[in-house]
Structure 1
Amino acid sequence: MATLKEQLWDPIAGFGVTFRTMFKKPVTVQYPFEKRPTAPRFHGRHQLNRWPDGLEKCIGCELCAWACPADAILVEGASNTEDERFSPGERYGRVYQINYLRCILCGLCIEACPTRALTMTNEYELADASRESLIYEKSDLLAPLLPGMEAPPHEMRLGDTERDYYRGDAAARAVAHGSAAAGGEQ
């Protein structure tokens, strides 16, 4: 049961919020022409990341799909072969789709990813005219190839073993000895 003091104070406190904002100048943004920057930790469109040599970080484990409360992610893993290697491990994500009609941009898929293959960008303009274009395929989600990266499939360039590759041991030793293999060139 509220006391008499609380019953009298609550409406005054509520009106205080109204009076503080009543005389502030409104902020109007001319949206499509002027865009305000997002917060650094804003959760926007997803991105599948790559290793420095261009191989994909996704190992097709499907943990992101299991963590998604909206069932918006579809992942189908496949095994790497000696002829075609898309990631440094045994497996890679052959099919990767995110349905942005279902996605609630909660970030639980990011938390579930063991290799940090999936992150979220600051891109927030996801509206489109057709439903089909809001289902992003792997090619839409993959990070672009930066200078020095090679498009998969190719052999691992950052180490001789998977342990070296993930820890960066071989790359660090090669840089210390001045080898050109550490930069992705062979």
Structure 2
Amino acid sequence: MSEPKRQRRKDARPGEILTAALAEFGENGFAGSSMGGIAARAGIARPTVYLYFDTKDAIFEAAVMDRMGGMVARAHELMSIEMPFDQMLERVLRNYYDSIAATDAAVLIRVLVAEGGRFPALSAFFRSRMLGAIEGLLAELVAKGIARGEVRPEVQALDLKVVIAPAVFTIVFGLIFGELSADAREKFIRSHLSLILLGLRA
């Protein structure tokens, strides 16, 4: 027997709330957003939001874990496949561009850049729960390249956040100057890959 429609709707609601919240944060900023505004975008009553999330902070944290946590999980899946390091790096970086920079998840970075100083709890959450996961992912990626003899061993001692930093920059650039066109975005990705590979290769 198929799952009742009402139950399917209930199960989907947290995701709908997160999508609505990211739209709200993107348009009004974190400070200017409200639980009522999020509810209206989700097409539900305000009290319904509180059945799933106690605060705006809780919604932001859930969105980080859903959008960016999903990106990290997909990257680990990609890295479990045997392939040359160059190809692995490209897939991992494109996973970030496609999952974060080109989606509503970019709003999370925009909130941290624009309002992180006013909401230190959000920055602290991101640092403790996500930044460490991303750094661990990059360390694993580099370790695989070193094991294959394709990456210089001394790279392991560097601050590996520089590997992903250009992708984060595209979000900041878009926040200031407007989103890149499809052609400009692809040129940027190819440039990113080329420069990082030149610095990592054995």
TM-score category of the 2 structures, normalised to the smaller one: under 0.3
Q: Which protein shows a greater Rg?
A: 1
Q: Which structure dedicates a bigger proportion of its chain to helix?
A: 2
Q: Which structure dedicates a bigger proportion of its chain to strand?
A: 1
**TM-score normalised by L of structure 1:** 0.26
Higher RCO (CA 8 Å, separation ≥ 6 residues): 1
